[in-house]
Structure 1
Amino acid sequence: MNSAPPSPFAAFDVSKSDRTDALTLVGLTVTYRTRGRDREVLQDVSFRVRRGEAYGLVGESGCGKSTVAMAIVRYLPRNGTVKAGKIMIAGADVQKLDADALRELRANRISMVYQDPGRALNPSLTIGRQVCEAFEAAGATRDDALHSALDMLERVRIAAPERVMDSYPHQLSGGMQQRVVIAMALASNPALLILDEPTTGLDATVEAEVLDLVAQLREELGTAVLFISHNLAVIGRMCERVGVLYAGKLVEEGATRDVFTRPRHPYTVGLLRCLPTIGRSKDRERLDTIAGGLPSPGSVTQGCIYAERCRLADERCRREAPPPYRLSVAHGDQMARCHYHERAIELPRATPDAPVENQRGPVADSSAAVVLRACKLSKTFHVSGASLRALDDVSIDLAGGETLGLVGESGSGKTTLAKLMLGLLTPDAGGVLELDGAPLAARVTRRSDEQVKSLQIVFQNPDSALNRAHSVKRLIGRALTRLTGLRGPAIDTRLATLTSAVRLPERYLDSRTRQLSGGLKQRVAIARAFAGEPRVVVCDEPTSALDVSVQAAILNLLADLQRERGVSYVFISHDLHVVRYLADRIAVLYLGRLLEIGPAAAVFDGPQHPYTEALLSSVPSLNAHDKQARIRLSGDLPSAVSPPSGCVFHTRCPRKLGAICEQQDPPFLDADADADATSGEGGAAPSAAHRIRCHIPVDTLRALQSASRDALNEVSADDQSSRAPRDIGRHE
């Protein structure tokens, strides 16, 4: 029977939480004072994290997730104040601690890992000095700290810790930096570890390694984890329970399996529908989105804070704030602040599906003309007297109206290949570029205006592409004038269309980009790239900084523009769910070499190159039946200065045959046929072909990968009924 307790505090026994919880928040309300007015950014937030438990906190940017973390450790900015509520950490009331007690709490009972490890490390100190300081702060002597630092670096799976101890942060990869930060955070064996977007921007394999590490250390040390992320699949893998935050208020909470299987709040339903999950593609359906945007802090004074964006809302919702309805469901209690929580799963779509006649655009035509051709592209950089081969003999074609997804770890050559196509880098001698069958000059400065207009780019970091001093209107307007020749009212009409398509509110048109969030900046960059009529757009991680709701709108926009205009994309991303949704073909790069290329469905469904198989196994998934056995790659990506002989992947390959892999460069095999068949020098085969560069015969790869999937299914079936809650989503 549904019930609404008179107060959200009713579910919390604070005296009991002192003994059983690592963290308890009761009625937490936080205000920021801006322009002489206090604005509530958190309203009456209550939840607990039990000892040894992992609790996920999700929501769009601006919902208050990081403010929760800052309030817990009392790191709020000067204009931030805890207006009401209680924060308990391992039995200690944080708000009542004096300076010495607060310092002791931060040193010994709570630690935090931030999104950007590079900014958390001091660039002027060695890794060893910084890790030792963490142990010294916890009370260790200098000698003990040195010994403990080495032991902890080994514990977080850092090879050759002695060498890493002598290194500076800039000499380590992003994944290595994050492991160092985690080692520092665990130095005091804290009761609570707060992870604020710890895997954003990491490759799929590195992300999986970091998540495995956190899960393993949590099991060993019994540390409770508060995991803050906008990546719902990561939360599904890592956390037993989840709380959904919207505009500073906790709108849903419960066991992760219950919330993600049957959400009870329309906002949670909307977030889940935005995700490009397995089985969804641009040719089958458009992603659903969440209309509108977050309300300004403190602007909603009555009714449900989500009412203006909710497609179930009525006058009752706008008049009465819903209480926290609590239900007893499969894996415990589930709370939702919605008057119509039983109907939330029936929420109507906000984004209509594409018309049937438009479901399949020009990409369905296998005879579409090749727009862009790259043949035998290589690129060598000279660094400190050494030659670094960033790209090695790569050949690809891009058809009209097609999306080619480029995937691979950082350092695999994805961005280098894109820059060669755009003329931002000059290829080594012997490389050929063609646009519509005509030679394309290597440097952009030597290309015609029409060729420059035909190839545009959306960068991963919009700050590198947008002038901070100019208004949004001027940035997009200048691009429209330069690329289309439009003037006067026509500019305003086109500008309105573009900004609406990328969900950029009109109130931001007069803003400078330095006044915008990262997501808003990226929307400006995308609008500017489409200001003209490009033939090819290179998208370099265009959605990595966006919330899932905005990401869905951008992916829909890209798909719609492709259907309407036949534009082609080269799409670079480490989010393989996004690549699977948008791409027609996939090219897999490793250490500058093309290891696999083919239609998206063929590449994702298999057989795959062992490296592709490892990449796909690292991707977290919301659905238990979509999970794969995690394939762990040994070691790190080799240096491009001295790449391995033979197959460049043999030093990490879990399916290595032996000497042939070490000595001979493998040929391309036709993955569509059971018999081995090479596709020609440099891999210049028909664009529809699925080809794998490997010594292992295709039929053998198919059998090995099928056996691995069958073994996982058997383990999952045996363990499903007896698996403990703490193992949710961590099927190995």
Structure 2
Amino acid sequence: MTDVVTAAAALEIDALDVVYRVRGRDRQVLRGLTLNVERGEAYGLVGESGCGKSTAALAIIQYLPRNGFVRSGAIRIDGRDVLALSGSELRRHRATAVSMVYQNPGAALNPSVRIGSQVAEVFKVLGVTGSDADDRSRAALETVQIADPGSVMKRYPHQLSGGMQQRVIIAMALATDPALLILDEPTTGLDATVEAEVLDLVAGLQSELKTSVLFISHNLGIIQKMCDRVGVLYAGRLVEEGDTESLLNDPRHPYTVGLLRCVPRGGVRKDHGRLDTIPGFMPNVGDDLPGCVFASRCTLAEDRCRTEEPDAHVVGLAHLSRCHFHDRAQTLPREFSADLVLPDVDRSGAPLLRFDDLGKVFAQGGHDVHALVGVSAAIWPGETLGLVGESGSGKTTLARTLLGIIAPTSGAVMFDGRDLAGTLGKRSASDLRELQIVFQNPDSALNRRHQVRRILRRALRKLAGLTGKQADARMLELMHSVRLSERYVSARPSQLSGGLKQRLAIARAFAGDPKLVVCDEPTSALDVSVQAAILNLLVELQAEKRVSYLFISHDLGVVRYVSDRIAVLYLGRLMELGPSETIYDGPHHPYTEALLSAVPTIDGEARERIKLDGDIPSASNPPTGCVFHTRCPRRIGAICDDVEPPLIDVEENHLMRCHIPLDQLRALQSDRTSLKSTITTT
């Protein structure tokens, strides 16, 4: 009888403890982490910020910071013990056995070196030089579907789009045919269509090259789409593991249940009630956790949970849960009641904000760049208008124009019955107070040197004219309204978590009781649990104060939850505008249809992916006719090339800019038949 030799897994992590030494004290980050990634498998690792996901990735490639080290355990890649490698062996190991794709491709590429030289460096490490390295670089770029690799190799990173930069990074990562590819939040910051292209590319390459993938993400929809199995990490401990379908549809750990409840699912909207959230905060690195690591935040926890570490219980086929009460994890009580009363939006009266025929032209390199072209819309008191579109569509330009950061070239803006001056310097104190913004990144929006007290008191003085005891009292009211504890009043932004910093930014925006707040990607960098808390906060403030929002986001699930109506921008034009459910349920403009088809969800919706060819054309030289016709999968002929369709009412409160009649769009989008076989034009 012959022995059967089983090939080693692509990645084996066994009882791994990773420690950071801070001020002479060892602070444990990973606690007995054990997981395998089999050959050809895609394994997803999820959890909130601070749970240890990125530390695990850095330990695998042996790139921990200077104060970090592996205290015990083992890491094997392709059967080889990583921790036993010497310096030269480790460098070659990093170049050949494992590759990593980081979250921000712009930061991973050298801005002063051409793309071709950077890709060629990968091969030079292996001893390939000269024209051979250039040829292999060109072939690597072709592998990731870059159409003109010769031209791209001559460019600098800033001359490429975010999606193209990420393709280059993936080409470099796969150039040496590694046994393991680590993807650390590879699509965060990319818009929906580019994200879908990158994910399709990774899936196709994995299938073709049989590469094993460790996929780190806080986006559960991406994990559902991309991964065969999932591990849930909390405070450095793997608390649940199983195949993707089983874990997402039948979670058996309270933490996993909590994460899934934070995501707007099944078309839920704000008028259905609050999202659920996870109470409390992640333990501090190095905290002593004698029992279950999740006990301090778990509403099912009993005394046993705080003193006795639970075993990894088998709850299904290859499905493990580290919970004493895994059989009743799904009975986890909600943190807050879902009940929320939102006043109806009354559109019979005058809108709070109206902008008519708004245009903005920038002069760039001797050319006119038409960033906004004839955009008209309105927002009523207590309403949220969602604004969506790819990067370069004009969303940020529209927001900055309304805020007075830049002046419009044409058109008019009316706010609360009065004309708004084009720039901030010409606007009244009342205008500034009543029209505020919450930025995407609170780190850059908050002065890191100032305490919470000073940040809020300054806003109260500038926006509400309050000083002294009145300002102190109002400051505490603001902190209470955004659920920011008084104990943070002396803290600086660097001492706050991402969610707390965003709460502070929202409190500052509400210091003058604004009537309209522009929310520019306010949750894009946040974990799903923190995102849910921020969305609840915005909706609660809207219910209480009847404030209006212009909500900009790439996350179309979040936009659906929070918005009453949605506007879709493309190349500076308004392509579609209508009620949230109408936009999502269809019929849609072909561009909206493509955007929605690109969004991965955890609901298993079978929406066919519609691929758009190419990038958004240059706003300095837009296409004639319909500006979307160069990428439109529904293009019907010369009329699309030559005649720009008007923005018209296609049904009640639903506007669209398309030559295709609404009933024919409905038929096309319901049965996915070919446009050319359905419509003929002369």
Same fold (TM over 0.5): yes
How much has 1:494 moved relative to structure 2?
3.5
Partner SS for 1:433: strand
What corresponds to 1:205 in structure 2? 193
How much has 1:506 moved relative to structure 2?
4.6
1:313 aligns with 2:298: no
Task: Give the Cα separation in 1 of the matches to 2:673 and 2:326.
Answer: 37
1:280 aligns with 2:268: yes
Name the aligned partner's letter for residue 346 of structure 1: T
**Counterpart mapping for 1:352-431 below 5 A:** 352-355=337-340, 358=341, 360-363=342-345, 365-429=346-410, 431=411
1:26 aligns with 2:14: yes
Residues 378-421 of structure 1: CA deviation (Å, up to 9, x unaligned): 00111111111111110011101000000000000001001111
How much has 1:137 moved relative to structure 2?
2.0
How much has 1:621 moved relative to structure 2?
0.7
What corresponds to 1:473 in structure 2? 453
How much has 1:532 moved relative to structure 2?
1.8
Residues 108-141 of structure 1: CA deviation (Å, up to 9, x unaligned): 1100000000110001100011111112223433
Task: Give the Cα separation in 2 of the matches to 1:17 and 1:87.
Answer: 21
What corresponds to 1:679 in structure 2? none
Change (3 A) 1:212 1:699: same
Partner SS for 1:456: strand
Match of 1:335 among 320, 325, 339: 320
Corresponding pairs, count: 672
Is 1:543–1:554's contact at 8 Å kept on the other side of the alignment? yes
Is 2:452–2:490's contact at 8 Å kept on the other side of the alignment? yes
Partner SS for 1:632: coil
Is 1:361–1:562's contact at 8 Å kept on the other side of the alignment? no
How much has 1:433 moved relative to structure 2?
0.7
Change (3 A) 1:334 1:469: same
How much has 1:188 moved relative to structure 2?
0.3
Q: Which sections of structure 1, spanning at least 5 residues, go unmatched? A: 1-14, 673-687, 711-732
Match of 1:643 among 622, 635, 660: 622
What corresponds to 2:167 in structure 1? 179
What corresponds to 2:567 in structure 1? 587
Is 2:433–2:464's contact at 8 Å kept on the other side of the alignment? no
TM-score, reference length from structure 2 = 0.96
How much has 1:502 moved relative to structure 2?
3.9
Task: Give the Cα separation in 1 of the matches to 2:465 and 2:74.
Answer: 60
How much has 1:336 moved relative to structure 2?
0.9
What corresponds to 1:605 in structure 2? 585
Residues 671-705 of structure 1: CA deviation (Å, up to 9, x unaligned): 32xxxxxxxxxxxxxxx710110011111100000
What corresponds to 1:660 in structure 2? 639
Task: Give the Cα separation in 1 of the matches to 2:267 and 2:639.
Answer: 37
Task: Give the Cα separation in 2 of the matches to 1:309 and 1:119.
Answer: 35
Q: Which sections of structure 2, spanning at least 5 residues, go unmatched? A: 675-682
1:55 aligns with 2:43: yes
Change (3 A) 1:494 1:60: farther
How much has 1:323 moved relative to structure 2?
1.2
Partner SS for 1:521: helix
Is 1:621–1:627's contact at 8 Å kept on the other side of the alignment? no
Partner SS for 1:21: coil
How big is the alpha-carbon RMSD for the aligned residues of Structure 1 and Structure 2?
Answer: 1.8
Is 1:476–1:528's contact at 8 Å kept on the other side of the alignment? yes
Name the aligned partner's letter for residue 337 of structure 2: P
Partner SS for 2:613: coil
Name the aligned partner's letter for residue 372 of structure 1: L
Partner SS for 1:671: strand
Task: Give the Cα separation in 2 of the matches to 1:145 and 1:518.
Answer: 43
Change (3 A) 1:80 1:296: same
1:567 aligns with 2:531: no
How much has 1:20 moved relative to structure 2?
3.2
Change (3 A) 1:505 1:127: farther
How much has 1:274 moved relative to structure 2?
0.3
How much has 1:31 moved relative to structure 2?
0.6
Task: Give the Cα separation in 1 of the matches to 2:591 and 2:655.
Answer: 13
Partner SS for 1:457: strand
Change (3 A) 1:17 1:44: farther
Name the aligned partner's letter for residue 697 of structure 1: P
**Counterpart mapping for 1:5-404 below 5 A:** 19-327=7-315, 329=316, 332-355=317-340, 358=341, 360-363=342-345, 365-404=346-385
**Counterpart mapping for 1:528-547 below 5 A:** 528-547=508-527
Is 1:107–1:188's contact at 8 Å kept on the other side of the alignment? yes
Is 1:110–1:193's contact at 8 Å kept on the other side of the alignment? yes
Is 2:251–2:257's contact at 8 Å kept on the other side of the alignment? yes
Task: Give the Cα separation in 2 of the matches to 1:150 and 1:334.
Answer: 43
How much has 1:165 moved relative to structure 2?
0.8
Change (3 A) 1:492 1:305: farther
TM-score, reference length from structure 1 = 0.89
Is 2:314–2:321's contact at 8 Å kept on the other side of the alignment? yes
- Identical aligned residues as a percent: 60
Task: Give the Cα separation in 2 of the matches to 1:303 and 1:494.
Answer: 41
1:690 aligns with 2:654: yes
Task: Give the Cα separation in 2 of the matches to 1:509 and 1:140.
Answer: 58
**Counterpart mapping for 1:623-638 below 5 A:** 623-624=603-604, 626-638=605-617
Match of 1:553 among 533, 539, 542: 533
1:499 aligns with 2:462: no
Change (3 A) 1:502 1:627: farther
Change (3 A) 1:709 1:344: farther
How much has 1:483 moved relative to structure 2?
1.8
How much has 1:79 moved relative to structure 2?
0.6
Name the aligned partner's letter for residue 703 of structure 1: A
How much has 1:467 moved relative to structure 2?
1.8
Name the aligned partner's letter for residue 505 of structure 2: A
What corresponds to 1:482 in structure 2? 462
Is 2:565–2:580's contact at 8 Å kept on the other side of the alignment? yes
What corresponds to 2:436 in structure 1? 456
Q: Which moved more, 1:605-614 or 1:136-145?
A: 136-145
Task: Give the Cα separation in 1 of the matches to 2:191 and 2:593.
Answer: 14
Is 2:432–2:463's contact at 8 Å kept on the other side of the alignment? no
Is 1:152–1:183's contact at 8 Å kept on the other side of the alignment? yes
Partner SS for 2:257: helix
Task: Give the Cα separation in 1 of the matches to 2:299 and 2:20.
Answer: 30
How much has 1:190 moved relative to structure 2?
0.5
Partner SS for 1:118: helix
Partner SS for 2:271: coil
**Counterpart mapping for 1:692-731 below 5 A:** 692-708=656-672
Name the aligned partner's letter for residue 349 of structure 1: R
Change (3 A) 1:162 1:657: same
